[in-house]
Structures are given as C-alpha cells and as structure tokens.
A = this chain, B = another copy of it.
Amino acid sequence: MAELVHVPIDSGQLARAAARPDCGAIAQFLGTTRDHHAGRRVASLTYEAYEPMALAALASIEAEAVTRFGVASCNIVHRLGEVPLAESSVAVTVASAHRVAAFDACRWAMDELKRSVPIWKRERFEDGDSEWVEGSKLGAGPDRP
C-alpha cells in the first residue's frame, strides 16, 4: 500500500515485504537526492505533498501497474520533508513471477509518479538560494481567471 513517510526509507524491508514464494523477481527503483542540478550545487532537498490526493494517486499507480503488467505487487513509498543528499526520496518495489514484467512495471510506475502525483521538490543551493524544481503540469489546468 502506498505510503508517504517522514523518516528514511528502508529499501531492504520493502524488498522483504514484497518477496513471495510464487515470484522469482523483484525490481526496485530508488530515487536518491543529488548534489547538483542544472549546473548548481545543491545542499539539501525538501519534498511536500497534497497528502490525501498524493496517496490516492500513488495507490492508483500501484493498482494500474499490477493490471497493466500482470505483476504480483507494486508498492510505492515517497519521503516528505527534508531528505539529506544521497538518501532515497522514493522507492518503487515490484514483485513478479518473471523479471521482464517486474522491470517494465517498475519503470512505468516511476514515470507515472513524476507525471501525476501532487508532490513538489524544493532544492536549496549552496549559495543559500532555494527553488522549486520545474515540474509537469497536472492533468488539464484551469483557464486564467
């Protein structure tokens, strides 16, 4: 089940939870925070979400990954708040009988997450500045009021 957490993500625990005796493959993706972006040095990153809507969107990606790729399970955990450099901001864990479907579903879920879940990332640069990362517009937007 999709989760938003404010503590470090334990990817090993997520893999153990996904393991099933009828499955031969677990594909896991971890998005980790980077120390540079567009040529600038990043000091730290902070994530925020519209939590109820983000959870529903993540759950819907999990469910669609299962039906679309025929995998056994898909689990998404996103961290919120400040995430120190090189730690995981997101983990997508897919269990499947076979590895091709596991990879395909994991990759698709990550693409969907970036496109359709109300979560925002703010980078604080070493020069003290901070900026929201340019993202993807959700669905169809409102007309200019």
Contact = CB atoms under 8 A, between A and B. Distances in A.
B107 A103 contact: yes
Given A12-B10, A12-B15, A106-B103, A86 B20 contact: yes
B21 A35 contact: yes
B15 A26 contact: no
Copy tally for this chain in the complex stands at 2
Given A85-B21, A86-B20, A103-B106, A29 B26 contact: yes
A63 interface: no
A30 interface: yes
B103 A99 contact: no
B24 A34 contact: yes
Given A11-B15, A13-B12, A32 B23 contact: yes
Nearest to A95: B32
A4 interface: no
A119 B107 CA distance: 28
Contacts of A26: 29-30, 32, 88
Interface in A75-129: 85-88, 95, 97, 99-100, 102-103, 106-107, 110
Contacts of A24: 31-34
Interface string A1-41: 00000000011110100011111111111111111100000
